[in-house]
Structure formats: structure tokens, C-alpha cells
Structure 1
Amino acid sequence: MEHNWFFPPHDGIRLGDLAVALGAELADAAHADRIVRSVSPVNRAKEGDLCYILSRKMRAELDTSAATAILCDPSLASLVPAHISVLLSKRPHTAFAQAGALLHSSAMSPDVMTSTSAIAPGAYVDPEARLEPGVTVEPMAVIGKGAEIGEGSHIGPGAVIGADVRIGRDCTISAGATVQYALIGNNVIIHPGARIGQDGFGYAPGPKPGMIKIVQIGRVIIQDHVEIGANTTIDRGTMDDTVIGEGTKIDNQVQVGHNVRIGRHCGIVSGVGIAGSTRIGDGVMIGGASGINGHITIGDGVQIAAMSGVVSDIPAGEKYGGIPARPMRDFLRDMAEIVMRSGTRTQKKGGNDE
């Protein structure tokens, strides 16, 4: 893939300066003045590109790579051809992410779609809303009565910010997103089409047949440095708050039910559904398309495999998988047994045919 106008290459960063910025070590100090301008996978890298490797499986691609520099663990440095500079890091994946942010800063959050630098014609900002200096509001966005938005924040085209919502500084609320009944911290990114603060799913039995809606009067609280993916929905609380902890990253098309409390620095992948009143600790990782039952507690540091069904509490630090989710060692043993039995049945069937 050639560079395109959406994410053009950087003007250039010296490898010596990049090493300092990443806390990495340049294997050959004589290469300090070499320049990198972009990131690339190893197999199609060219001059000016920075790549990274995590294992010896990349050896064949390295032999034909034209990259300017490779980030890697010191144990892999001997794999890199002599014409490619080496940046040594004990955490090359993390260092590469940091390098990408330096080389392509505009890709770190949704960009402004129009040339406006303030409140665009066609946007509606209620006279009783309060916007600090440096807020950008794009066309067709609506800012409700009493809403407050902090300095440096960007409200994308067609976004709706409800009455009395509070949004901190340097936030991005992308095109078509809606935020209501919510308090948003600083440096929060909400991607296109996300829905924050609508009422949760709550009903009581009514006259047969029928159900009676339960009032939802809580809020959504999103702490600093959270990222919410496209078309994700986060319901407000019933009588308590729905809370997303600092630094948590939520992928696209995730459903977070009312009263859910998610801890700090969690990672929740696409398609996850979290039912109401669940408590999730700090540093929890939940694989894609998993379903989390309501009114349960998931401890700090838990890892849940993709496509799992969690129906009960999980102690801190555990790794779970499967439907119903169970300790990973049990899940893997069960899967191995199923495969073995399936193979035995196939062999018996083949013998009968003969």
C-alpha cells in the first residue's frame, strides 16, 4: 500500500531523537542521523519506514525488507540485515505504538471533517450552553441547554450533546454520536455513531400480557483518557450511575448495560455485551463477542477469551473461556476431549464403511 493523502508521511524524525523519545537504544550510534517518516509492516517497508518484529518468524521477510529501521528486543537483533538500523527495546510493541503516535499524530483520534476552527454555520449551540475557548463545533451538531464543554474539545458533524452534559477538555465527540445524561472527563474519544446515556432496558411485569417500564434516573460517568468505539452503546444507570474507569478502551459495537461499573485500564473488544449491574475490576481484558451476565463481579486483571459466556463471578487474576466460561485450563481440556472423541467416532465410522 502506498502512502496516501489521508495519513501522509511525517517530515522526518532522526533515529537518535526517536530512540530518546521511546526510551530505546540505537544499536549503532553511527545511524543516529538516519530519518524515518512512517510506519510499515516488514514485508512491504521501504526507505523511511519504521517496522517492528516480535519473533523469529519474521526472518524471511527481513531478508527482503527495505525498511530504514526495525524495533525489536535485543535477543532478535542478530536477525536484522546489516543495511537496516536497529532500535533495541525490551517492549518493542509498546515502543512501536509510541513511534506511530509521533509519526502520524493525526491518526490518533478522529480528525476535524470541515475547515471550521470554531462554531460552524449550521451548528446549533443553545444560548445557555457554556463552551470554553478553543472548542470546535462542526456543522449540524447540536449542543443542548446548560451543556458545558472544555477547552480544546471537538464536536463532530451531526453529534448531539444533551442538556446539562459536562464534557472535559481535549475530548473528541465524533460524527453522529449522541451524549446525554453524562459526565465526560478529559482526553476522551467517542467514535462515530456511539450512543451514550440513553435509558437502559428495565421493565416490571404488568397486566397480562404486558410490561411496565422502570424509570432510569442515573447517569453515565466516563473518566479521563477513555476511548469508546463506533456504534457502541452505554446505558445510563437506573438509580445508580454507569461508570467507565480511567484509561479503559472499548471497541466498536459493544453494549454496556445500566449500572455497570468498569474499572481502570480495561480492554473490551468488539461485540461484547455486558448486562446491567455487573462490576468489572481494573485491568480486565474481554475478548470479542463475549456475553457477560448481569449482577456479577469480575475481579482485577481477569482475562476472558473471545466468544465466552460469563454467567458467574470470576476471581481476580483468572483466565476464563468457553460457554459457560470456566478456568482456561478446564476449557482447553474439555476442548481437547471433544476433539479426541470426534476423531474416534470418525475412525469408527470409516471402519464400518469398509
Structure 2
Amino acid sequence: MDHHRFFPLHEGIALRDLADRVGMQLVSVEAGSKLVRSVAPVYRAQEGDICYLVSRKYRDELETCQATAIICSADIEPFVPDHVAVLRTKTPHAAFATVGGLLHPEALQPLKVTENGISPKACIHETAKLEAGVVVEPFAVIGANAEIGEGSHIGANTVIGPDVKIGRNCSVASGATIFCAYIGNNVIIHTGARIGQDGFGFAPGPAGMIKMVQVGRVIIQDNVDIGANTTIDRGAMDDTVIGEGTKIDNLVQIGHNVRIGRHTALASGVGIAGSTRVGSGVQIGGAAGINGHITIGDGAQIAGMSGVVTSVPAGARYGGFPARPLQDFLRESADIMNRAQARRKKKDAHNG
């Protein structure tokens, strides 16, 4: 299987240079001139590849490893075969992420149809303002008075609405739609994302549900990543805000007037109802549901599949449905399983 068709091999980086640039210790100095050109999982890594390992429970994979080098911590180093150079670090996951970006920088951005210029097949309003170096792919539509900063890339079939402002060095992948939004610098928006549509607001009336107007905006600060097919509703009368450095996975729903702090991470399938405040440094696991009009404090962690119905204190770890302190949830779950097991044993003994 050709693993490099879409992301070609790097011309090569010497291990000594890699260690210096990333802040790792090359254990075998004589291996410093060896080149690595790509990344691979431990079990199938070959010469020219670099891999990483963070847990001893996967050390059996090292038996088939033919990598040029591996990134790992000191406690895993004794299990590494002699023919594999070791780059020692206390943070192998983060170090490997940095190395991967150096070897395959093109994979850090959404894939592009064209690399340069403005396609004659794009539809750009005469009042739109595009700075130097903006790339616009075929069939993209850019509305009146929209502004796009230098170095940004607008994918095929993307729609940028009137008066939208997009900062510099942003990447908007194919098929995304952006309305009623101001977007900072170095933002990545993946395929099919929907930003700035009206939120879910209806008032019960004598004849049924009456639609509420949604006249707010979406504000996305610098260095935010937004996953494929994620939706971010504009505010009703205020703004929906995504803080600097926040990372949002695919298929996430963020309701109107939600405010998310800096460097927060939301895994796939998370849903946040309107007007909730999520702090900075929060981590929310996949498919968790967050009630509206509550607050998730700074640094809180929410386990996947949880249902959060009340506010969560800063730094707390919550899980379950309804979500509660994680240790309480785990203890209660264990108690339920123990009781069920005891009942089964009692029943089996009676039937026996």
C-alpha cells in the first residue's frame, strides 16, 4: 500500500537537527546524521520513518518496528530495539505532533484543489476586499463588502456572506458557509462547516411556534480550528464567541449566544445549548450534551457521553447522566454492577 500518495515524503531532516528544534535528547549521538522523512505507527514503521510510544502496554509493537527513530520517555527506552534511535522527552505526544508538522506541513491544513491565485470560476462581489496572496478556488462565492486577509485560502464551493471579515493566513475548506461572522487570524475551518446561521429560537403562541429573530454575530478569535460539518449559530441579540486557540472537532453543534473561552477542546458530537458559558482550558469528551444557560468553569473536564444539566465548577471532573463529579459517577456505576452481579449469583444459587 502506498501511504505517501497524498502526503509525499519530506526531503529529510537529520535527527540531531530534529532534536534541537523540538527540544528532545538524542540518546545515541552517532545517529545524529540519520534522516527521517515521514511518520508511521510503531508496528509498521520502516527506515526513514519516525514513530512514538507513550505507554508500556504497547511495547509488543516494538518487535516489528524498523523505524529510524522513536520518540519516547525514559521509562519506555529500555524496550526499544538497538537499531532504532531514541529521542527522549517527557512529553512524547506533544513532541511527535511537532515533528509531524515539520515533516508534513501540508497535512496541517485542509486539502486544497488549487494552490495559487483567484479562479475565474469564482464569484466575487465587486465591493469585496481581498488582500494580497488570497487564493480563491473554483465556484466559491464571496459576498458584498466581505473582507479577506493576506494569505488566506478559500476552498471550492465555499460561500462567504456579505460583510463577513476573515483574517490573515486562514484556511476555509471546500463547501463551508460563513455568514454574520468576524474571524481572526490563522483560523482553520474544515469542509462543510456552517457558521452564522440562525439559532434554534421559537416562542410558543396560540397558533403554534413563532420564530424568534436572530440578529447577533459569530466572533471567532485567532488560532481556532473548526472541524468538518460543525455548526456554530449566530447570536440572537448578542454574539456567539469562540475564544483564541480553541479546537473544535467534527460534527459539533454550538448554539446561539454560547461563549467559549481560550484553548478549550470539544470532541466530536458535542452539543452545547444556547447561552451557555464555557471557560478556558475546558475539555469536553465526545457526544456530551451541555444544557443551556449554565456555566462550565475554567479547566473543567467533561467525560464523553455525559449529560450536563447544571453548572460545573472550575477544575472539576464530571461524568455520567446527569453529569456529576466523576468519582461519584464511577463509584455509583460500580455499586450498581456489584448489586446486579450479587442478584444474579443469588438467583443462580436458588435455581441450582
TM-score, normalised to structure 1, is: 0.98
Matched, 1:309 2:307: yes
Name the structure 1 match of 2:128. 129
Aligned to 1:74, the other structure's residue is in SS state coil
Deviation at 1:27, TM superposition (A): 0.5
CA distance in 2, matches of 1:40, 1:5: 14
**1:182-331 superposed matches below 5 A:** 182-208=181-207, 210-331=208-329
Per-residue displacement from partner, 1:171-198 (whole Å, max 9, x unpaired)?
A: 0111110000000000001011100000
CA-based RMSD: 1.0
CA distance in 1, matches of 2:63, 2:177: 49
**1:74-93 superposed matches below 5 A:** 74-93=74-93
Per-residue displacement from partner, 1:111-168 (whole Å, max 9, x unpaired)?
A: 2213x51111211000000000100111110000000000110110000000000000
CA distance in 1, matches of 2:58, 2:21: 26
**One-letter amino acid of the counterpart of residue 297, structure 1:** T
CA distance in 2, matches of 1:261, 1:170: 24
Deviation at 1:320, TM superposition (A): 0.2
Deviation at 1:61, TM superposition (A): 1.8
CA distance in 2, matches of 1:263, 1:279: 8
Per-residue displacement from partner, 1:192-211 (whole Å, max 9, x unpaired)?
A: 11000001111112223x01
CA distance in 1, matches of 2:275, 2:3: 46
Deviation at 1:2, TM superposition (A): 3.7
Aligned to 1:237, the other structure's residue is in SS state coil
**One-letter amino acid of the counterpart of residue 292, structure 2:** G
Matched, 1:61 2:49: no
Q: Is the 8 A contact 1:254 1:272 kept in 2?
A: yes
CA distance in 1, matches of 2:271, 2:58: 36
Deviation at 1:72, TM superposition (A): 0.8
Q: Is the 8 A contact 1:297 1:314 kept in 2?
A: yes
Per-residue displacement from partner, 1:60-109 (whole Å, max 9, x unpaired)?
A: 22133101001011222222111110101111110000000001111101
Name the structure 1 match of 2:349. 351
Aligned to 2:339, the other structure's residue is in SS state helix
Name the structure 1 match of 2:100. 100
Deviation at 1:317, TM superposition (A): 0.3
CA distance in 2, matches of 1:273, 1:59: 37
Name the structure 2 match of 1:174. 173
Deviation at 1:7, TM superposition (A): 1.0
CA distance in 2, matches of 1:184, 1:258: 16
Per-residue displacement from partner, 1:213-244 (whole Å, max 9, x unpaired)?
A: 11111100000000001110000001110000
Aligned to 1:98, the other structure's residue is in SS state helix
Q: Is the 8 A contact 1:3 1:9 kept in 2?
A: no
Name the structure 2 match of 1:141. 140
**One-letter amino acid of the counterpart of residue 24, structure 1:** M
CA distance in 1, matches of 2:130, 2:160: 12
Aligned to 1:242, the other structure's residue is in SS state strand
CA distance in 2, matches of 1:119, 1:239: 35
Q: Is the 8 A contact 1:194 1:228 kept in 2?
A: yes
Deviation at 1:337, TM superposition (A): 0.8
Where structure 1 has 5 or more consecutive residues not aligned to the other structure, the ranges are: none
Segment of structure 1 superposing worse, 189-198 or 70-79: 70-79
CA distance in 2, matches of 1:353, 1:186: 69
CA distance in 2, matches of 1:211, 1:64: 63
**One-letter amino acid of the counterpart of residue 316, structure 1:** A
* Count of matched residue pairs: 352
Aligned to 1:221, the other structure's residue is in SS state strand
Name the structure 1 match of 2:149. 150
Q: Is the 8 A contact 1:151 1:169 kept in 2?
A: yes
CA distance in 1, matches of 2:273, 2:3: 42
CA distance in 2, matches of 1:315, 1:75: 35
Name the structure 2 match of 1:341. 339
TM-score, normalised to structure 2, is: 0.98
Deviation at 1:347, TM superposition (A): 1.4
CA distance in 1, matches of 2:212, 2:252: 23
CA distance in 2, matches of 1:316, 1:212: 37
